[in-house]
Chain A
Amino acid sequence: MKIFIVIAAYNEGKSISKVISDLKHAGYDNIIVVDDGSKDDTYNFALNSGAVALRHIVNRGQGAALKTGMDYALRNGADMIIHFDADGQHRVEDLKAMIAPVKSGKYDISVGSRFLKPVKMPFFRRLTLKIAILVVRIFYGAKMTDAHNGFRVMNRKAAETIDITSDRMEHASQIVEEIHRKNLRFIEVPVTILYTDYSLQHGHGGLGQAFKVFIKMIFRRILD
């Protein structure tokens, strides 16, 4: 079974080497890093850490970068594709639990969830996420405990079916939408997200950005 890990990276030069190295030590050899037009040396760090390095010559957004990585993986015979963060927020230890449901063939995609176990989190981030979860439930009738998690494991069929057309941050909600629209069998797996100073610094903008994502979700509904 060919497992590919796809990492979309933008200005993550400081953390990418360690992330790749950790993954390799855990036994994952096919690591694809898509440098989304970084201004720092992310690309070289990734290349020198032994990952397959792809580069967007101009920044297009995390959604576009993930899709690029997934396309590359599919073209190279991937049976399973994993979305993993470049900033060290995802734990390598959680991979086994994330892979198992898809590997067993019972599920097409497993998505990480921060809320299946009680967890500490900055208040505003929790509030924003809770609102997002509610919105997802209203829009798609789907009960998810974590509507915006970048940790995903999917089989080839799911990777081929999910069509990420959103370039930027809306891609996360689009993936959720695609899962429900295309009736993919999905399961949420508890994961721990490591909020380090580094990752929080340049993480996702809070309520303001979430609002923009929400507007785009509405647009997509209308235009379809």
Chain B
Amino acid sequence: MTWRNLLRTVWPTVPIVSALIITGLFLSAFGVSPGEGFSAMLRGAFGDVNKVLNVTAFWVPLALASTGLVLAFTAGLWNIGIEGQIILGAISASWIALKFDFPEPWQIIFQLLAAMIAGALWAGITGVLKTRGKVHEIFGGLALNNLAIILTNYLISGPWQPPEGGTFRGTEPFQDKAILPLFADSRLSILSIALLVIAVISVYLLLRGTSWGLKLKALGKNPRSAFLLGVSSERELLLALMLCGALAGLGGAIRVTSWFDSLRQSISGGIGYLSLLVVMLSNFRVALTPFIAYFFSAVLNGSITLQLRTQLHSSLGGILTGVMVLLVLLLGDIKTLNFLPKRMTKESTDE
């Protein structure tokens, strides 16, 4: 194996290793040895069965949102609004949970459906703002994210406040049949994993094998040409965004009826923004996305234990993942580094 080939195979690990080193530095800066810090994180994620189940439980909504994002990004949409779509899913599921009393299993089914619809509609607003109002989806999404948070706070401190009075912590716990059936003593719902698998497979097939997926791909790469070739941009963009919103909403419903048992203040736990990092790292490949999401879940849950053990702020987990994504974005593609020989350039060969 030549030097070059070796470098090429090893390269993808460089950003990851660098990120670990940098995080190690942050640990030492605060008096915690990297070894201690990382092992605390590992134990926090995989230390015992319960912890693994929790990592998995956290993972499901994250993976759902990330899978939805692959759709949105394929169509060229920067769906930062995913956070709000998750929240709306949680809110709608909570609404059904608190205000309705259906026989099992309809209670759960309606909760999940309501969540998907709400997430889709919330995404639809961003979509219409873009297609009709020409407002970039970054701003639309951002504004709606904040409105969703405000809505949550309003609900839990107002109309849905628990009987002992609104304390901004959350609504009263949901009735038993509104909660997803949980596995063992954990917060993991096997049903949610099944739904995730269905979602991932569906999105994969949609993108790979259908004309709709091809249209999205074309829209993402060149909206004008796609339009001229016959793709109705407005409709497809809206659909992609709403489908993403539906998956996000589903994730929100799962979160509020398994990880939690009531609607809380930070109901989404930043999962939306995290899923954006996930798809950047997976380079928008459906197959890779759930695995990267699992890794992120492990890091984040591990860092909570880190906080308990070392008193260090749990945002260290976010730093690790953020630095990793940044390095992959900057350095991931080995071709762009100039110490490798340039291939034939793309300079004009005509004339």
The reply to whether chain A is a binding partner of chain B is no
Residues of A at the B interface (CB closer than 8 Å) are: none
Residues of B at the A interface (CB closer than 8 Å) are: none
